[in-house]
Amino acid sequence: MSGYDVVIVGSGPVGTAIARELADLDPALRLLVLDAGPVLGPEPGGHVKNIADADARAAAVATVTGTRTPPGATPPRPGTALIGAPAMPNAATATNVGGMGAHWTCACPRPGDDEIPDFVDPAAFGTALTRAEELLHVTTHAFDRAPLTPTVRKLLGERFDQPGRRPVGPMPMAVTVGADGSPHWTGPAVIAGDLWRRPGVTLLPGTLARRVLMEDGRRATGVEVADTATGAVRRISARAVVVAGDALRTPRLLWASGVRPAALGRYLNDQPQVMAAALLDDPGVPDASPAGTAIVPLSGVSWVPYAADRPFHGQVMQLDASPVPLDPGVTVRPGQVVGLGWFCRKQLSPDDRVWFDDGDLDEHGMPAIRLEYRLTAADHAAIAAATTEIKAAAAALGRPLDEPFVMPAGSSLHYQGTTRMGPADDGTSVCDATGRVWGTGNLYVGGNNVIPTATACNPTLTAVAFGVMSARALQARLRAEEGS
């Protein structure tokens, strides 16, 4: 067995951030990052929106887009494949270097109020959030040049701003803006920087982790992996293992490895999503849209923040000129239609869960993913309130287009909670506040799945911040072992 100091399973935003932080803290560490999928585009973990050639971009995304659409589901988003779970028909995963971070919308709001776990040290978490924003290149100025942004923000602010709440403002975005105003979208390649060129750091695509190798059930000694092209299986030794796949496949790997705490896979949290569209009054929108794949920079991306007494998170972003049916004869200029998405806080329950069918194994010996998920009376009430609010927001912006609608479960792709952290090993959590799995000395988990709270905001920034905290705790543990 070849050996490393740390093996990290998953090259998405959190897995890459953990690797980057470990390498920055201790350049001598030997790190291996595994991903079951291929590299898309010219750089490992690059955001597909940054692939300039449209044909090349479409071809890259097509290689990892699923073709199956089960009953009750909408077709998978480009770059994802649907799981096929009746209880959550739009549940999907991304299998490529960079994970969902190669396809995401790059929204990075900070969590607020009770979205933040009360057992996490506020100062340490605040520092980690700042570091996460640095790694992701988060800015609130990505769309400063968008001519309709002031109008959109003014109208939303007049409708929703209240004392004691965070005001409507620009959505913090993981975007680097060029001198000409063009955006470069943050994929894990941006988080990595020069990481994959550093000595001692290896990225291995096309390699599926089948098992975490455990000694006496308490200490990870490495991973068993399979080459996804050939099926060849081998073992890799490590001083520590971090599993940062996603909220569905991270608990599956732990299950397959015999690491099965009571809360594993439970408290699955998807954010119910209400959508609407509005036709802005036309105050002189340009006739032509700029070329490229980014959001056309006319109305930008605006944010209606979450509050504990208003348990929704709203984002308003520009759609293409004709994404929704319009009345015959209506002429729409580019940038005139905006989409509104309200994400609702989901009531947490241990009965919402992902579990694994050992009687249905794939070609690599991994059990099939099954989902159990339902909306409670409180969830339906939240959705109804969000629907009322999004109608008001659409009316404030201009002319609402059709009625708001609720997306099928799983549409948010913001799945959380399945390896949730907690303050104590009491059966309701899988790991501690550093991501270390209870009862183990050197097995860590990372990703949206560690977030233990009912949230409405986009979870990537929060998850990367927790990943930063995990990397710092793990590096300190490895250093302590060396000195003992």
Taking only the tens place, the pLDDT of each residue in 255-279 is: 999 999 999 999 999 999 999 999 8
Amino acid identity of 1? M
The number of beta carbons lying within 10 Å of the beta carbon of residue 227 is 15
pLDDT at 287: 52
pLDDT at 304: 97
Candidates 198, 196, 178, 175; CA nearest to 187 is 175
> What are the boundaries of each domain within the chain?
1-137+188-271+415-484, 145-185+272-344+374-408
Candidates 480, 456, 136; CA nearest to 314 is 456
Distance set, CA 215 to CA 212, 224, 264 (Å): 10, 13, 20
- Report field, pTM of the whole predicted structure over 0.85: yes
pLDDT at 149: 86
Element (H, E) at 61: helix 54-62
Question: Strand 337-344 relative to strand 273-280: parallel, antiparallel, unpaired?
Answer: antiparallel
User: Nearest 5°: CA angle at 240, between 239 and 242?
Assistant: 155
Taking only the tens place, the pLDDT of each residue in 215-251 is: 998 999 999 999 999 999 999 999 999 999 999 999 9
Euclidean distance between CA atoms 88 and 86, whole angstroms: 5
pLDDT(291) > 50:
no
pLDDT-derived band at 320 (thresholds 50, 70, 90) equals low
What 3-state DSSP class applies to 85? strand
Kindly give the interhelix angle for 13-25 and 460-483, rounded to the nearest 10 degrees. 40
Taking only the tens place, the pLDDT of each residue in 451-482 is: 999 999 999 999 999 999 999 999 999 999 98
Instruction: Tell me yes or no: is domain 1-137+188-271+415-484 CATH 3.50.50.60.
Output: yes
Burial class (CB in 10 A: 0-12, 13-18, 19+), 385: middle
Minimum mean pLDDT among 47-51, 318-322, 367-371: which range?
318-322
Active site residue 414: yes
Euclidean distance between CA atoms 437 and 452, whole angstroms: 14
Euclidean distance between CA atoms 376 and 365, whole angstroms: 35
